[in-house]
């Protein structure tokens, strides 16, 4: 009997001890980034945010007469969709992501126009792309860049002209020795509320692949550019996608710049039908899933890797996936020499910092913490050079507090044009 009591007592002590450990465990404030570039590169670059944000949240809590004692965890999600689902489920607190996975997972619409699972905390601001901000079609009456014109629904002729201007601008404006192309292609004086996906192609492969009448795709494309003939350009793009043996890289299904807007471009500009696009996904005969923008740019920019049947020679991504953020300027120079711009998509609303409304998350049950996060991120990117570097990997230069009653309706409206793209995505097997 004594032995039994001893065993029961021991079990009780273990149980009490376990409960004590659980109850003393400090919950983590979890932040996710999406894998638009190499996951290793992103992890390394965003790591300092943990310490910066911890310090800032402690300061803000102290100013309110409270204490912030949570551990901060910063991580990179496996996919865009996984990040959004983690927010909706309350397993993470905030995440940086594009608007599409946010919209698909934000939950039920509430009376005030917001949604019940995920909220939109901050809109990101980007440097403008000089080929955009100097494009004649985007100049206002004052001869200055008009953001409103740039984000309007553009016609095919306009997007053709924009792509041509980008290629011309990048060819004629070279950086100084020892400087990145970002110094001549990014516009610090004209921040933009949008970005867009551009179509990148290996020049050598275009030169070596016959279009028709013994003309290469490169020669035919240059002739269409010179004559500004959109109809010829459209036929060239359609043939390039449907009939050539050149393979094309696309990104994650939930990536606006890597998948959704590229597919929209194929419909609007190349004139492909839903059925034609779905058919090209079968058997991997045309589309190859790119790991990230760095890999896509490097593959297209390598003349051997890009050759038809050996890799892919065309890909999509925001402006400009050829930039290096790691100081490898010789590699960047090779990419700009070997790769040209052959297309441009409609404007895409900037990514944002989204937050979980789930009560399982820390921010879902602590409005003060959510407010501190908003204030902390706004202050850090404005005042701290290390914080600026953290977000520069996404070309984010600042954050803006959106109109909470309007941002969701703006996102809904902008995504309506992607209804057909969603049908295509649902009809194919293509990762997350």
DSSP 117-142: SEEEEEEEEEEEEHHHHT-GGGB-TT
Q: Say whether pLDDT at 22 is over 70.
A: no
What are the structural domain ranges in the chain?
Answer: 2-106+352-393, 128-350+418-426
Residues β-bridged to residue 192 = 126
The band of 2, judged by pLDDT with boundaries at 50, 70 and 90, is very low
Q: Do domains 2-106+352-393 and 128-350+418-426 have the same CATH topology?
A: yes
Please tell me the pTM assigned to this model. 0.83
Cα-to-chain-centroid distance, residue 368: 29
Residues 198 and 317 sit within 8 Å (Cβ to Cβ): yes
Name the one residue in this structure whose structure tokens are 């049908």.
423
| Each residue's pLDDT tens digit, 170-193 | 999 999 999 999 999 999 899 888
Q: Which residues neighbour 427 within 8 Å (Cβ) at sequence distance 6 or greater?
A: 274, 278
**What kind of fold does domain 2-106+352-393 have according to CATH?**
D-Maltodextrin-Binding Protein; domain 2 (3.40.190)
Burial of 289 (0-12, 13-18, 19+ CB in 10 A): middle
C-alpha span between 148 and 125 (Å, rounded): 15
Q: Say whether pLDDT at 397 is over 60.
A: yes
34 versus 386: the higher-pLDDT residue is 386
The band of 66, judged by pLDDT with boundaries at 50, 70 and 90, is very high
- pLDDT score, position 431: 57
DSSP string, 299-321: HHT-HHHHSTTTS-SEEEEETTT
- pLDDT score, position 326: 67
| Each residue's pLDDT tens digit, 294-327 | 999 999 999 998 886 668 999 999 989 999 866 7
- Range 3-18 average pLDDT: 44
| Each residue's pLDDT tens digit, 228-269 | 999 999 999 999 999 999 999 999 888 899 999 999 999 999
Q: Angle at Cα 147 formed by Cα 145 and Cα 151, nearest 5°?
A: 130
- pLDDT score, position 107: 97
CATH superfamily of 128-350+418-426: Periplasmic binding protein-like II (3.40.190.10)
Q: Which residues neighbour 186 within 8 Å (Cβ) at sequence distance 6 or greater?
A: 127, 128, 129, 130, 395
Name the one residue in this structure whose structure tokens are 């946010």.
102
- pLDDT score, position 3: 47
Q: What is the mean pLDDT of the chain?
A: 90
Q: Angle at Cα 75 formed by Cα 373 and Cα 36, nearest 5°?
A: 100
Q: Which helix (H) or strand (E) holds 248?
A: strand 248-250
C-alpha span between 6 and 16 (Å, rounded): 15
Residues 150 and 344 sit within 8 Å (Cβ to Cβ): no
C-alpha span between 356 and 64 (Å, rounded): 23
C-alpha span between 378 and 352 (Å, rounded): 12
- pLDDT score, position 303: 92
Q: Say whether pLDDT at 284 is over 80.
A: no
C-alpha span between 99 and 414 (Å, rounded): 10
C-alpha span between 366 and 53 (Å, rounded): 17
C-alpha span between 1 and 177 (Å, rounded): 86
39 versus 49: the higher-pLDDT residue is 49
369: number of Cβ within 10 Å: 22
Q: Say whether pLDDT at 36 is over 80.
A: no
């Amino acid at each position: 009997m004594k032995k039994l009591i001893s065993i029961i007592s021991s079990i009780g002590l273990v149980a009490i001890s376990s409960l004590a450990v659980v109850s003393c465990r400090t919950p983590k404030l979890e932040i996710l980034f999406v894998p638009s570039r190499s996951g290793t590169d992103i992890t390394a670059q965003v790591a300092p945010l943990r310490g910066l944000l911890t310090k800032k949240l402690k300061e803000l809590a102290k100013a309110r007469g409270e204490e912030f004692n949570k551990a901060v965890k910063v991580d990179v999600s496996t996919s865009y969709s996984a990040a959004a689902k983690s927010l909706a489920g309350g397993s993470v607190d905030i995440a940086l992501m594009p608007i599409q996975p946010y919209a698909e997972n934000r939950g039920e619409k509430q009376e005030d126009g917001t949604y019940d699972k995920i909220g939109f905390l901050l809109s990101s601001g980007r440097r403008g792309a000089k080929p955009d901000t100097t494009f004649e079609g985007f100049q206002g009456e004052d001869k200055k860049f008009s953001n409103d014109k740039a984000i309007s629904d553009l016609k095919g002729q306009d997007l053709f002209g924009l792509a041509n201007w980008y290629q011309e601008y990048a060819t004629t404006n070279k950086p100084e020795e020892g400087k990145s192309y970002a110094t001549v292609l990014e516009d610090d004086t004209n921040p933009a509320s949008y970005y867009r996906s551009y179509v990148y192609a290996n020049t050598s492969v275009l030169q070596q692949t016959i279009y028709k009448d013994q003309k290469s795709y490169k020669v035919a494309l240059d002739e269409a550019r010179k004559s500004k003939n959109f109809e010829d350009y459209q036929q060239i793009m359609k043939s390039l996608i449907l009939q050539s043996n050149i393979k094309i890289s696309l990104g994650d299904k939930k990536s606006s710049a890597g998948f959704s807007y590229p597919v929209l471009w194929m419909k609007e500009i190349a004139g492909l039908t839903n059925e034609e696009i779905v058919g090209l996904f079968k058997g991997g005969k045309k589309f190859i899933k790119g790991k990230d923008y760095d890999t896509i740019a490097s593959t297209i920019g390598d003349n051997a890797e890009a050759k038809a049947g050996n890799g892919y020679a065309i890909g999509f991504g925001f402006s400009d996936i050829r930039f290096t953020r790691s100081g490898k300027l010789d590699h960047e120079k090779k990419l700009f020499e070997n790769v040209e711009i052959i297309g441009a998509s409609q404007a895409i609303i900037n990514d944002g910092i989204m937050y979980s409304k789930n009560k399982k998350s820390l921010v879902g049950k602590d409005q003060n913490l959510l407010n501190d996060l908003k204030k902390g991120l706004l202050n850090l990117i404005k005042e701290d050079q290390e914080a600026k570097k953290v977000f520069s990997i996404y070309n984010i230069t600042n954050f803006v507090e959106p109109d909470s009653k309007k941002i969701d309706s703006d996102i809904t409206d902008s995504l309506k044009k992607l209804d057909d793209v969603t049908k295509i995505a649902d009809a194919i097997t293509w990762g997350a």
